[in-house]
Structures are given as structure tokens and as C-alpha cells.
Amino acid sequence: MESYNSFHVAQKQVLEAAKLLHLDNATIELLSWPQREFKFTLPVRMDNGTVKVFHAYRIQYNYARGPAKGGIRFHPDETVDTIRALASWMTWKTAVVDLPLGGGKGGVVCDPKTMSQRELENLSRAYIRAVAEYIGIDKDVPAPDVYTNPQTMAWMMDEYETITHRHQPGVLTDKPMQVGGTRGRRDATARGGVITVREACKILHVDPSGCYAIQGFGNAGQRAALLHQELLGGGRLVAVSDSRGAIFNPHGFNPKELVTHKLTTGSVLGFPTASVISHESLLELEVEILYPAALENAISEINAEKIKAKIVCELANGPTTPEADLILYKKGIHVIPDILASAGGVTVSYFEMVQDSYSFFWDEDLVHQRLDQKLMKAYHSVREAIKEKNVHPRLAAMVVGVARIAEACKLRGWV
């Protein structure tokens, strides 16, 4: 279980941004709570013949700017408040990138590591049977999240189409390509992050061909390792880590060889030419750019003072605590906050919805080009807010997102 309530943190962030925007009390109250919450019990037949009842949620935080959008998690520690917080952050994230979407999130309290593929399929289909009436391309469009994946989406889409008797692939995103998925989704999160780093380097006069380090070498971290060099025309990857350990080489790793090593051995450890360092010291290295791409709370008041990177690009959700944010800001470290840095994934998911709705699919180059435009524009909107309000980047990103949603609520006559 989490040690603090993430929804309380999310509500505090809304309040801080709302105060800077001088929003009225009704708007603050509206934006501090989800607009709709669904709670279900899902009876699922297990492989041993028994029926197990799972608790599940879908939360549509705000839909003033468009249908709710956000993943579905399968995780044993999920609670209504973890889902509320994640749905809240999705709302500001889609608004920061200026997508015509709201925010949402769903979850099932379960331990997928102990379940067979058939049980997971039964659970995925049961979830859709419960939620079908409330989702849809014009209502709420889920996607994968922790311990769900494109296969989960394919089962869920199939169940939805079975119920509705219509072909509607855009009801869920991040599907496999053969059933309405888009090109360019796999590396979208990392690509979006690297695009924001490129813009930050230009403004702050940081050398993108300097050193970079990556905490967490999964989907987002591996892609960032490769794309950093591809998009920024260089850079020395001096350290990476995964849950088993961290490695360092001051002369730099070859990212392609490192990815191959991780995929074949299951860890970054054991890579030739690497020395092993502690998890903590990776974060404290003297690098131009640090990519946290693992878990929450990696940078806290305990280590923030020791961070030496010039730019911190948050590919992970919530890697910096609110206390650490202030410390990094005072030290002059430029944090690209998660609701901006990791927004590439939901942006390409939105592109998938668009392509599904007219059954015409774009080349990978076009996906990349449009993602670049969206993220570049979003980065500069946040940059403007930092200057205008004289606040740290996370609060500036919240100000951009909250202002856009508040305006939509007002135009609709809700407040």
C-alpha cells in the first residue's frame, strides 16, 4: 500500500494552480474531484473451476474538453484514490498537450503475476461487460497501463464489439497493428520526452551531446537511450539501471548493444565494460541530462540536494516528490515534469483514435512529425507559464492544463 495518499497530493496541485489563476470556488471544487466514478465487482471463472470476485473501477475525471482518456491497471495495490489521482494527472496531461480529450483511469485489484493467460482474458472481458455502457469513442477511451498491454486491449475491444455488434476499434487504444493500432506507439513516450529535452537544451544552452543517464531500463528507458542519440545527434550514455542494479562507464555505452544485452539476459548487469554502481549514485552523477524512467519518488528531499544534472526529464510518473521539486528549482535544475515529458504516449494514442475513426492509417514518419509538433508546442506553452508566473515547471505545467480545462468548463456554462 502507498504510504501517502496520492489523490490528496493531486488535489493540492490543482489548488496551487487554481490560486495562481484566481479561479472561483465553484471551479476549484469542480476540478478537485472526478466528474464520474464507477465501481464494479467482477465475478470471474478461474482455471480451477472456482469463481473469484474482483473489485474494479473506472473514473472519468473531467470531460469538458472531450472524451475521458487513460489506462486500465491490473494491480494488487489499487484503491479508489490511486485511480482518482492517476485520472486527475491524465486530465492535466491531455490539456497540456492540447488534445481534445479529458482524463480518466481504470483499475482492477488483482495480482496478474499469479494468473494464467486465460484468467486474464476472462477478467479483461468481464471488465468490459461491466463498463461497456459508459465507454466509447465519444465518451471514454481506455488504454493499457501497469500490467496490461496491447493483447489486453485486443481482448477488450473484441468484447466491446461483441456487445455492440459494431466495428469500433477506436473504443480503446494501443491495440496491436493488425486490429486498428497505430504506427509509432511503441516509442512515443520516450520520443516525446526527448523532443522536450531538445527544446530545453536550445533554450538553456545545454549541450545535448554531453552525458546522459537513465534510471529504469524498460520500455520507456530503452527507447530514450536510443532516441536521445538519434534525435539530438549525439550524447554519451554513461549510466543506466534496472530493478537489479545500476552500471556506469564514463566513456559511454553503445545504447543498441545495451538494449540487446537487457533483452537477452533480462538485466543491464553483466554488460561488458561496465562498472556496477549503487542505485542512489546513478541519480547523483554529473550529467547534462537525467531521465528517471522507473518508479515514483526516486528524487525526494533525501537526495534532491545531491542531484547534479542540468535537465531532469521525467519519463516516469511522479518520480520527484513535491519537496524535491522546490529543492531542484532553487538549485537551478530544469525539471521537465511528467505531465509534459511523458505525454508522447497519450498523444499518439489520440492519433490512433483519429486514424481508427476514418479507417485510414498514417506512415510512421507522419506520426513522428505530428508528435514533434504537439510536444514542441506544449513545451513552449509551459516555458511561457514558467516565465509569466515565476514558478517551478511542474506548477507551470499544471497552470497551463488547469487553465484550459477551467476555460472549457466556463464556456459550457458549468461554472
Residues labelled catalytic: 105
With CB under 6 A as the contact rule, the residue among 173, 196, 215, 320 that binds ligand NAD is 215
Residues 294-323 that bind ligand NAD (CB under 6 A): 294-295, 315-317
Q: Given the DSSP bridges, would you call strands 211-215 and 289-292 parallel, antiparallel or unpaired? A: parallel
Distance CA(262)–CA(223), nearest Å, equals 12
Nearest CA to 375 out of 403, 355, 350, 406 is that of: 350
With CB under 6 A as the contact rule, the residue among 52, 129, 139, 279 that binds ligand NAD is 279
Residues 126-145 that bind ligand NAD (CB under 6 A): none
Distance CA(377)–CA(379), nearest Å, equals 5
- Cell digits of residue 12: 493540492
Number of helical (H) and strand (E) elements in the chain, helices listed first = 14, 12
If you search the block for the grid coordinates 458549468, which residue do you land on? Answer: 414
Cβ neighbours of 317 (radius 10 Å): 19
Q: Given the DSSP bridges, would you call strands 311-313 and 334-336 parallel, antiparallel or unpaired? A: parallel
Q: Which is nearer to ligand NAD, 126 or 299 (CB)?
A: 299
Distance CA(167)–CA(2), nearest Å, equals 40
- Least CB distance to ligand NAD at residue 246 (A): 7
Site mask for ligand NAD (CB under 6 A), range 59-88, x = bound: ------------------------------
Task: Identify which range of 214-222, 366-374, 388-396, 399-407 contacts ligand NAD by CB under 6 A.
Answer: 214-222
With CB under 6 A as the contact rule, the residue among 217, 253, 271, 379 that binds ligand NAD is 217
With CB under 6 A as the contact rule, the residue among 241, 320, 321, 381 that binds ligand NAD is 241
- Least CB distance to ligand NAD at residue 388 (A): 27
Q: Across the beta sheet with 211-215, what order do the strands follow? A: 275-277, 245-253, 236-242, 211-215, 289-292, 311-313, 334-336
- Applying CB under 6 A, the site for ligand NAD has a residue count of 20
What is the number of residues in the chain? 415
Q: Which is nearer to ligand NAD, 216 or 235 (CB)?
A: 216
Task: Identify which range of 73-81, 216-224, 230-238, 361-369 contacts ligand NAD by CB under 6 A.
Answer: 216-224
- Least CB distance to ligand NAD at residue 167 (A): 26
Binding site for ligand NAD (CB under 6 A): 189, 215-221, 241-243, 279, 293-295, 315-317, 342, 345
